[in-house]
Structure 1
Amino acid sequence: MPDALIAGALTAGFWGLLGGSALVMGAVVAYATSLPQRLVAAVMAAGSGVLISAVAFDLMDDAFRQGGAMPTALGFVAGAVAYTAANVVISRRGGRHRKRSGTNPAARQSDAAGGAAMAIAVGALLDGVPESVVIGISLLDGPGVSLVTVAAVFLSNIPEGLSSAAGMKAAGRSAAYIFGVWGGIALASGAAAVVGNLALAGAAPSVMAGVTAIAAGAILAMLVDTMIPEATDQAHEYSGLIAASGFLIAFILSRLGD
């Protein structure tokens, strides 16, 4: 394997791990402190806005420029359908409320004694992998990683880890389980970035566009299913304004990176 390819893959792994480490940071904060639930929801709303901006102005825009409308549209729909199908399976096994903080009795994670630990862990992995693959791909489209994409993933992962870890703690799960899940997903994020970088090195523009759009579709489906409900459940009428603020910040960052 050429040295340049190895170096690119290792760089992708570093940035993917960095983005995934924000999940651990959020979990640490949730486990060590008892934050007001409206603050948790507000941070979740801001993270949702950041990721929506990344999907619209980075992922989909890049996919369209690389491969045109057809690969982008097909990939986007495929990503949303694939995520939804996998999420349905995981939800039926107890992972439905894996990103919820646990304050709403109707949207709590399954109790530690309920046997849904694996479904919650797999569901969290399902939510994080598409973002990391995009980070790995972004290194193939220029001289360096897309810092805007990394920033969007990092900023959105903090509230994800924060809310979900709070829900795990409320459900009675141990510190070993909580940090084992998020530490493992951080490592998996690095690995996913490496795989994305290696698998698509030298791929045709239409293939790159399709894979980028698949990730975009999966991320948007994840947002609507897991992050936005938690934000609106606690932040109520302010969640839209907070999400719009996160969107605007990410949009400005993406334009400054042009």
Structure 2
Amino acid sequence: MPEGVMGAVWAFCWGVAAASGSLVGAILGLITNLRHRSIAAFMSLGAGVLLSAASFKVASEALILASAASTVGGILAGAATFSIANAALVTARDRKRCGECKSQPSEADAPGSGTAIALGTALDAVPEALVLGVSLRTGGPDLALVMALALANLPEAISGTAGMRLASRSSTYVLSLWSGTTFGTAATTALAFYFLSDLGPDATAILKAYGAGALIAMTAETMIPEAFHNGPRYSGVLAAAGFAALILLSEFAR
């Protein structure tokens, strides 16, 4: 495992791989016209994948290294931090949303709404970047986790792009937003990897639990509502399939 600046560059590259689903999803959202039910189905799968990553890949590893009390405390602290930050976006109703879930105003109708969307998108990416950065520092690259994050980002970007198109936002705006999210996530991953080099196992475990809690809160507050809003009746099965898919990916990646 490389260290120092080269280690940060290495972590950045893995961050780009994990966040690449956002940019691919944005492009698909611009060139296709998927129906809401199709987007909701993909979102259900993505939500299941992220919940599996938070529990199966992150929280369970934290529990091995730290006590149950520390793990639970870290999870709740991470979830609370995300929820408070999300609530602080007083224009959260203007955040990225698929068109049929919740319409976005155009910049002309609501000046500053574009900034709210950008901030909300950036906030959603932080838990993933933290989880990946800690994972890279403690165990090296986890291909299953990287693939899971990339797959989960795909429907989220398709959904967000669909809402932005209905709000008459330009392709340049959409691609700039998701490109910034992709490389911003990678940069946050690199920073997390770089600054965690001196942490002991207990602190690392608590930070893992913190990231898991933030990831769970992000999934519950931003993905699940869209996944189940007028989605297919079998959305729960799709979410379970996404959860199980990560377990299979982990087995194949061994």
Give the TM-score, by structure 1 length: 0.92
Q: Map of 1:74-223 to 2, 5 A cutoff?
A: 74-90=73-89, 92-93=90-91, 95-96=92-93, 98-104=95-101, 107-113=102-108, 114-115=110-111, 116-142=113-139, 144-223=140-219
Contact kept, 8 Å, 2:41 with 2:232, in 1: the verdict is: no
CA displacement 1:49-82 (0-9 Å, x = unmatched): 1111111101101111122223211111111111
- Tell me which amino acid in the other structure corresponds to 2:231: A
Higher share of residues assigned helix: 1
Distance 1:97 1:234, change over 3 A: farther
> What is the Cα deviation at residue 256 of structure 1?
4.4
Give the TM-score, by structure 2 length: 0.94
Specify every segment of 5 or more residues in structure 1 that has no aligned partner in the other structure, as ranges. Answer: none
1:57 aligns to 2:56 (yes or no): yes
1:24 aligns to 2:20 (yes or no): no
For residue 78 of structure 2, give the secondary structure of its aligned residue in structure 1. helix
Specify every segment of 5 or more residues in structure 2 that has no aligned partner in the other structure, as ranges. Answer: none
1:69 aligns to 2:75 (yes or no): no
> What is the Cα deviation at residue 120 of structure 1?
0.9
How many Å separate the matches in 2 of 1:220 and 1:110?
28
How many Å separate the matches in 1 of 2:195 and 2:39?
37
> What is the Cα deviation at residue 31 of structure 1?
1.0
Contact kept, 8 Å, 1:27 with 1:182, in 2: the verdict is: yes
Question: Percent identity between the aligned chains?
Answer: 37
How many Å separate the matches in 2 of 1:220 and 1:96?
20
How many Å separate the matches in 1 of 2:8 and 2:134?
10
How many Å separate the matches in 2 of 1:87 and 1:128?
12
> What is the Cα deviation at residue 38 of structure 1?
1.0
- Tell me which amino acid in the other structure corresponds to 1:21: S
How many Å separate the matches in 2 of 1:240 and 1:112?
35
How many Å separate the matches in 1 of 2:31 and 2:253?
35
